[in-house]
Structure 1
Amino acid sequence: MLRLGYLLPTRERIMSGQHETGSLLALAERAEALGFDSVWVGDSLLARPRHDPLTLLAAVAARTRHIEMGTAVLLPALRNPVVLAQQVATLDRIAEGRLILGVGIGTDVPNIRSEFEAAGVPFEKRVGRLTEGMALCRALWQGKPVDWQGRWHMAQATLAPTPHRPGGPPIWVGGSVAPARERAGRLFDGWFPNAPTAAEYREQWADVTAAATKAGRDPANLAAAMYLTLAIDDDASRAEERIDRYLQGYYGVRSDVTRKRQRCFAGPVDGAVAWIKEYVAAGATHLVLRFAGDPEGQMEAIARARPLLEGR
């Protein structure tokens, strides 16, 4: 069954000088009212300043009742995993099991390298910190004494509270290069890229499921997600101008550079529906949508078009 998510514009609001959170929480409530299945928040300390995702999602959890919520994506390597385990467990309690933890390692670009340096974290060690840190979180989420000797050390350490869901929230990992796909299938609960075309998605998802099978895991238990950016407008040229302006402002590089790395659509809603359906046909079951400008209008357009997306 298709599930649709909406990314809250935390970065965009900071870029426009709007640091308050009331309008963001209202958008989360609106997404729930429109029938979206999930609402998401991105993560960055200094490279792309925005609200802290875990803190903001706690407020979202308190303001909503049914919608799932997640990070798209959190950079666990920037955080001590023991502290992170407690934060996530508490958030999952507030959300009553509606949390999804999307995680990633961060793109190798200068401002993200600088962000890691500012946090006192070696950028080159981020993959190991991600995998070990998430394994440690899962161990602590069991609520039993943990002995750990690795990057972090502890003896008979017990964390409380435990998450609402036994074992903690599902962890989806981003990245579409071969090692990331292998990690997704071998270690995590879902795959959450933003780079593959629909044709590439089908092939790469097969790699994820093959890695799961090789590791003795059931691929049917993995979530197949995708992060997409859209500018929906009846005027296609206006939509193209808007998404180019948006991407350049968001990332600080030419839009054509970003559009080679991330999948984007600009144009009328019927074209957006056809484009999204290509990913559904390729195997994606949870699509997280980021809108360039006018979030509420575009949320409403997608909500009206949902029967077409589901073939109804």
Structure 2
Amino acid sequence: MSLTKKRWVGEPLHAAFSNTELALVPRAGGAGYAVTIFIWENQTMTVKLGYLLPTREKIMQASHSVRPMIEAAKEAADLGFDSIWAGDSLLARPRHDPITLLAGVAGAVPNVDVGTAVLLPALRNPVVLAQQLATVDQISEGRLIVGAGIAPDTPAVRHEFTAAGVPFERRVGRYMEGIRLCRALWSGEPVTWEGRWSVTAGTLAPVPYRKSGPPIWSAATVSAGIERTAKHHDGWFPIGPDAGTFAQRNKEFRAAATAAGRNLDDLTTAIYLTVSIMDDSADAEAAIDTYLEDYYSAPAAALRKFQACKGGTEDQVVDFVRAFVQGGAQHLVIRCVGDHRSIQQILARRRDDLTV
């Protein structure tokens, strides 16, 4: 990477310069300022690539063994994927518990991040959750990422909350307070807390591997949720719906974070994408529709309105993914439909094309 320093005086600044740093430099004799523009040439954008384990799909196939998941994680890591992810659900979409599974992945697959996509903290007691997450962060030696959401409003999810003894209508408040309590407990200092939960001089052990605890990324999609994310989370991690909307909401997220006094370098923008790659794009799109309807027991057309999905040829899917990178995605979490290994190999081989 090279740095070229150029100076403009009295000329307009154009938004086309995307890789720039600006500085006001006093002119000699105190006659005003010159604008110095530092342009990073040949800059390589670093985008991380993640793979979502098929925990739900394996259960749908009546396969309850964890071994295939560990092997799939190893294969993705061998191809150069940066992270391995697992989804969360109790009864709405039954699958392996993500926290326990990721502990196994972290122990078996070194040098990749492990993350939840996404965890439902409101379903859990935050004191228990804080200990579980701290333990996985220790097992992984600081490689855990907590993707978190409040849960969608569907009959199946409402039933899931009822079965867990959690009032569905209070999930946002439980989520926000639960996250704050987790972070307080991660300090390793005695914590006294009065709210939805009561703690008296409680000290949690172990503390996380990282002093500040694992980063927490929110899956918020509405403006109020994005603003909360900008103030209280370490990253934004939506599931869609399309590249244009994603880019606009990412601007909102970054602007809100700046207004809240956050350092943008400390925040991550991620995206959860569902893709299928086949020689015939119509077949790939049909595979996505069938997958969504089997997975969620809902019409694919309705699900596509809020999920980022693409079935197509290799080039079509690369273009689809690249559009999200251009919109600001720094970490891509890929849910594969069809031949997982083939899709992984294609994305790994075309990785440089995702940032062009």
Please say if residues 176 and 196 of structure 1, whose CA atoms lie closer than 8 Å, have aligned partners that are also in contact.
no
Note the C-alpha offset of 1:220: 2.6
Aligned pair 1:145/2:190, yes or no?
A: yes
Q: What does 1:271-282 correspond to in 2, within 5 Å?
A: 271-282=316-327
User: Which residue matches 2:103?
Assistant: 58
The Cα RMSD (Å) is: 0.9
Higher helix share: 1
1:219 CA displacement: 2.4
The separation in 1 between residues aligned to 2:291 and 2:148, in whole angstroms, is: 24
Structure with higher strand content: 2
Matches within 5 A, 1:1-312: 1-311=46-356
> Structure 1 length as normaliser, TM-score?
0.98
SS in 2 for 1:72: strand
Q: Which amino acid aligns with 2:143?
A: R
Deviations 1:230-256 (A, max 9, x none): 011111111111111101100001111
Matched to 1:257, the amino acid is A
- Structure 1: runs of 5+ lacking an equivalent: none
Q: In 1, distance between residues paired with 2:250 and 2:352?
A: 25
Q: If you compute each CA radius of gyration, which structure gives the higher value, 1 or 2?
A: 2
8 Å CA contact 1:71–1:100 kept in 2: the answer is yes
- How many equivalent pairs are there? 311
TM-score (norm 2): 0.86
In structure 1, distance between residues paired with 2:162 and 2:262: 36
How many angstroms apart in 2 are the aligned matches of 1:237 and 1:197? 19
- CA separation in 1, counterparts of 2:125 and 2:290? 36
Cα distance in 1, alignment partners of residues 323 and 273 from structure 2: 12
Amino acid at match of 1:298: I
Cα displacement string for residues 174-214 of structure 1 (whole angstroms, at most 9, x for unaligned residues): 02111111111010000000123111112111111222122
Unmatched 5+ residue regions in structure 2?
Answer: 1-45
Deviates more, 1:29-38 or 1:203-212: 203-212
Q: In structure 2, what residue type is equivalent to 1:293?
A: G
- Give the distance between the partners of 1:137 and 1:102, measured in 2 at CA: 14
Q: Which runs of 4+ in 1 moved over 3 A?
A: none
Q: Is the 8 A contact 1:185 1:219 kept in 2?
A: no
